Amino acid sequence: MTEWPDPTRFVVDALGPDARDVVEVGCGDGTLAHRLRTAGHRVVAIDPVAPDEPGFICDRFETWDPPAPVHAVVAVMVLHHADDLGGWLDRWCGWLRPGGLVIVADYGWDLDAGASDAWAAEHADLHRFAPMRAALDARLAQVRFERLDGPGESAAVPLAFRYVGRVPAGAAAPSATG
Ligand SMILES: C[S@@+](CC[C@H](N)C(=O)[O-])C[C@H]1O[C@@H](n2cnc3c(N)ncnc32)[C@H](O)[C@@H]1O
C-alpha cells in the first residue's frame, strides 16, 4: 500500500541553508522538528501533543507568537484541519521576516475521483484541495508546488501535495521587526 511520502527532504531543500529560524506548526511527535535541527535549523515546534522537551510548545498555535520573526513556517498534514483557513495562514505569514517562506505538505482527500460516498463523508470535515490552494495563492508567491501519490481509497493517486510560498516583500506583519 502507498504510504504518505516523507516530507523531510522536500522541507530541507525548501528551507535551504539561509532559513535558520523555523516554526513548525502541528509537529505531532516532533520527528520532523528533530530532523530539521539535525540539518542545522533552529526550530520551535508547537502542537498540543508536542513532546515535553526544550524547543517544543504543547499548545495550539493561535494564542502564541514566536519571540522574533522567523525565516519559515512549516506545516505537515495540518492545514486540512484548519477551522479558519485564511486566519491560520494570515497568522503564519505574520510571523515571517520579509520574504519568509510558508512550507506546506498536505493532502486533498477530494482528489481521489474514484472514491466512494463513504470516503467523502468520512473526510467531510476536512478542507478540500482547491480552497487550501486558493488560500495559499492569495497570500503567497509560489516558489514550488508538486503533487505525489498518496493513499486514496480507490487507488494510490496524487492526493499529496507540497507547496512552498514566499510572503511578498513588505507584506509581513507590523510586528515583524527582525
Ligand atoms: C495529522 S497530524 C500531523 C502531525 C505531524 N505534522 C505529522 O506529519 O506526523 C495533525 C497535527 O496537527 C495538530 N494541530 C491541529 N490543530 C492545531 C493547532 N491549532 N495548533 C497546533 N497544532 C495543531 C494536531 O494536534 C496533530 O498533531
State the average pLDDT for the chain: 93
Segments making up each domain of the chain, as ranges: 8-166
In the chain the beta strands, taken as DSSP E runs, fall at: 21-25, 42-46, 56-57, 70-76, 96-107, 141-151, 156-166
pTM over 0.85: yes
pLDDT tens digits, 59-98: 999 999 999 999 999 999 999 999 999 999 999 999 999 9
Cβ of 37: how many Cβ atoms within 10 Å?
Answer: 15
Q: Specify the CATH class of 8-166 in words.
A: alpha beta
How many Å is the maximal CA-CA distance in the chain? 49
Residues with CB under 6 A from ligand 1: 25-28, 46-49, 60-62, 76-78, 81
State the distance from the centre of ligand 1 to the C-alpha of 106, rounded, in angstroms. 11
Q: For a substitution probing ligand 1, which of 6, 43, 56, 78 has the most ligand atoms within 8 Å of its CB?
A: 78
Q: Which of 17-21, 62-66, 71-75, 166-170 has the lowest mean pLDDT?
A: 166-170
Q: Is 64 exposed, middle or buried (0-12, 13-18, 19+ CB in 10 A)?
A: middle
